[in-house]
Structure 1
Amino acid sequence: MKRRFVVGIVAGVLVGVAGVGTLYGIGHLNSAAGESGSSSILSGSFYNKAKANALKQVVQAKYIGEGLDEDMLEGIYRGYVYGVGDTYTSYLSEEAFNKEQTEAAGNYLGTGIRFTWGITNQYLIVTEVIPNSPAEQAGIIVGDKIFAVDGIKALGSNETKIYEKLIYNGTDPVVYTIKNNDETETREVSLVADVVKINLIESKLLDNGVGYVDLDGLVDGSTEQISVQIDELINKGATSLILDLRSVYSDNLGEVQKLCDLFLDEQVVFSVKHKDGTVTPYKTQNGKYDLPLAVLTGTYTEGVLEAFPAAIQTLDRGVLVGEETAGNGTTQVRVPLEDGSGLSITTGLVLDAKGNQIKDNGVAPSVVQKTITENSLELVTTGTLKLENDVILQKAIEVLK
């Protein structure tokens, strides 16, 4: 999902769970507490029921707020998986797992608002409204300012609570206190999250025959759509291409391989190292397009997708412009639990065409161009950034001349 200049949700992409099956539900884990043997998650040295009860009693007796059993148990599950020490291996609540499954299919689940902090850090500014979403239907537009959500003021000191409200995708309504951009009108809008089909790919023919393709995600079928739009750009006169990946997180291994195949001739373009030490190479067949190519990257270019800019640069097929990628070159599977929650698990490390690990290293562009203050200021005051003012895009156009 689009995360350029946006503080928000990390959208994941499901990479096949074939052969993994459904893990034991939370009820099974709890019942295992009384079993002996180190294989049980909640037994032996792994879990001390008496200690857990003591913690509960102390919290209930001393904590100024209300400690809810359900939330505290969720914390145990999150903490247990967190203990592996990998940022990208995590426990997902039922709500979070449902959202990621929905977005893996190319849909959006939420109220339809994407946002960033305003210039004073005392409000959020709407940077995008998803078409056909609850927010659009309620008349919210780009540039509107959110001053409170369910009565919680949009202040830096309330950041965690505000984010919880903004990413909530349950069935209860959430009330947004909104002002228009010049703050002359205030209204309260009640929104309920919904599933919305979204367009992940947009394209436009720029001046000098530059075809611009902007990706908002990469799911099953995306590469075919990209190819259709590139063909249309070529028919309109495109003589070079810019592929914008600054907003994209994807772990759809098959689609990343297909994306490489659009631009790279037959060869190994990247590989994946598995837990047992074996390495699986991924090859292309025949690159369909040979137009000059620039790929825009940034800190939100994440996941298996990072294999694509790495291949483009390592195999000298095009130029990377922007900032270093996230350094999360891993393969993931998401496994459902019986109660609706799930696990996101790192299963492999992505290596570039020369065998270099991408995880923790990222892919550094050959042409470095950072976002300038003026770009950030335009975004936090108007909620949008015009293409002609986007210094990274303009640098890529310059490189292609």
Structure 2
Amino acid sequence: MQVPVEPVVDKEAEFKKKLTRRYLFGMLTGVLATIVLLAGVVIGFLFVGSRNGRVLQNTAQSSELLSDPVVQKLEKLNAIIDAYYYKTDVDYDQRADGLYKGLMESLGDPYSVYYTEEELIELRNDTQGIYYGIGAYVSMDTSLNLPRISGVMEGTPAEEAGLMANDIIYEINKESTAGLTLEEVVGKIKGEQGTTVHLTLVRDGEADYVELDVMRRQVEVPTVSTKLLDDGIGYIRITEFDTVTADQFKEGMAELRAHNIKGLILDLRGNPGGSLDTVVNIGDQLLPKGKIVYTKDRNGEGEEYYSSGEHELDIPLVVLVDQYSASASEILAGAIKDYQIGTLVGVTTYGKGIVQSILDLKDGTAVKLTVSSYYSPNGINIHGVGIEPDIVCEFDSEAYAADKTDSQLDKGIEVLKELIDN
């Protein structure tokens, strides 16, 4: 990123001030939801299954939770609702789901959630790389606690409608996104094929809101994309680690290798994470022989994941990261940094060093529960801290909006050329 010769206004600070004023104005309509919803940031998760069928055992604590006074109070609350609530067409299944969700929210962990049958089906479809939506990646802006577009897929309704990376989603169908979790935001954006969703956006450089109608349709998520750059440089981007990603990555690398590339840029910006098995598989395609990552649970026990070293990368590597590179992205970036086989360029990553498991409740529903912490090969846990890049480079959003200039990619290319020459 070039240093300006003359003094300039801190445009990012000004933008945040402008958005904060708008946010406070809209907060009045969303304050009740903010009170009852768990505040926090959810960017992704490590889908590691059900812990090999581990049986959930009753404990003294769980017995206390279901003691007679608690059950009696629940019954009393139900009776009050039945007697006095102004509506009579109460959905009892929805009421029960609310109890289950509330129990998970009481943990104070934004990554531990209860999934209804419908939500579990959507989750499984997402991890298979197919869903009905608009074709945009959404994450939470950590400073504003509002959803933002972290990437737009090519050839999708999002691209056709004009959505741009870093757009802040202020409203969905004229309803404020204040206080919503990431999963709730995504749920409101998704919908039946052929229907539209109206998004109210705050875009850097725009004086007023940007209003867009986006058509929903089936989207097959291309989690890996590749291209050849000048001077024999290969570029491969991973947008998330789904079950389809490992095969897509191998195919992409084979295509680039066929052109005898001299160096590789691996783009993990905006990648929220995904499958632990997938990131380990991809790590095996790049890393030397040794540990990729290991986990520790509440008892200090865990699992270790290794690279065979059979596919160790033998050309210079630059990894692009940003504040939205999280979870599985940080596992891969952290291992590359620990083994010193690549140079990280960008800004400090998100800092999600914990692992979630999907635990099947055997009735069509499930819970996602944080079960352990993960550590890089050198024993580093980056939760709440993130991974610092070797070379710091901020993303120039105004330049990108003006003419698609990608300041971080340009810096990555510059660094990689120096590595190739040396």
TM-score by length of 1: 0.72
What is the SS of the residue equivalent to 1:47? helix
Deviation at 1:238, TM superposition (A): 2.0
AA at the equivalent of 1:240: G
What is the SS of the residue equivalent to 2:299? coil
What is the SS of the residue equivalent to 2:284? helix
What's the CA shift string for 1:151-189, capped at 9, x where partnerless? x4266779889965863656597544589xxxxxx9977
Worse-matched range after superposition: 99-108 or 219-228: 219-228
AA at the equivalent of 1:241: L
The match for 1:227 is 250
What is the SS of the residue equivalent to 1:219? coil
Alignment of 1:1-400 (within 5 A): 10=43, 12=45, 14-17=47-50, 19-20=52-53, 39-40=62-63, 43-44=66-67, 47-50=70-73, 53-54=76-77, 57=80, 70-112=93-135, 128=152, 131=155, 135=157, 140-143=160-163, 152-153=173-174, 164=185, 167=188, 169=190, 174-176=195-197, 191=216, 196-286=219-309, 287-375=311-399, 378=401, 386=404, 389-400=405-416
AA at the equivalent of 2:119: A
What is the SS of the residue equivalent to 1:371? coil
Distance 1:339 1:221, change over 3 A: closer
RMSD between aligned residues: 4.5
Deviation at 1:312, TM superposition (A): 0.8
AA at the equivalent of 1:281: E
Deviation at 1:202, TM superposition (A): 0.6
- What is the distance in 2 between the residues matched to 1:231 and 1:207? 18
Aligned partners of 1:200 and 1:218 also within 8 Å: yes
**Structure 1 portions without partners, runs of 5+:** 1-7, 25-31, 118-123, 180-185
Distance 1:45 1:212, change over 3 A: farther
The match for 1:182 is none
TM-score by length of 2: 0.68
- What is the distance in 2 between the residues matched to 1:178 and 1:250? 25
- What is the distance in 1 between the residues matched to 2:333 and 2:62? 42
Deviation at 1:88, TM superposition (A): 1.8
Aligned partners of 2:295 and 2:373 also within 8 Å: yes
AA at the equivalent of 1:82: E
What is the SS of the residue equivalent to 2:283? helix
What is the SS of the residue equivalent to 1:355? coil
Aligned partners of 2:113 and 2:367 also within 8 Å: yes
Distance 1:270 1:13, change over 3 A: closer
Distance 1:314 1:112, change over 3 A: closer
Over the matched positions of the two proteins, sequence identity in percent amounts to: 24
Distance 1:15 1:61, change over 3 A: same
- What is the distance in 1 between the residues matched to 2:368 and 2:183? 25
Worse-matched range after superposition: 154-163 or 271-280: 154-163
- What is the distance in 1 between the residues matched to 2:288 and 2:69? 51
Distance 1:113 1:67, change over 3 A: farther
What is the SS of the residue equivalent to 1:223? helix
- What is the distance in 2 between the residues matched to 1:110 and 1:71? 24
Deviation at 1:221, TM superposition (A): 5.0
Aligned partners of 1:211 and 1:241 also within 8 Å: yes
AA at the equivalent of 2:188: I
Aligned partners of 2:193 and 2:218 also within 8 Å: no
Distance 1:113 1:61, change over 3 A: farther
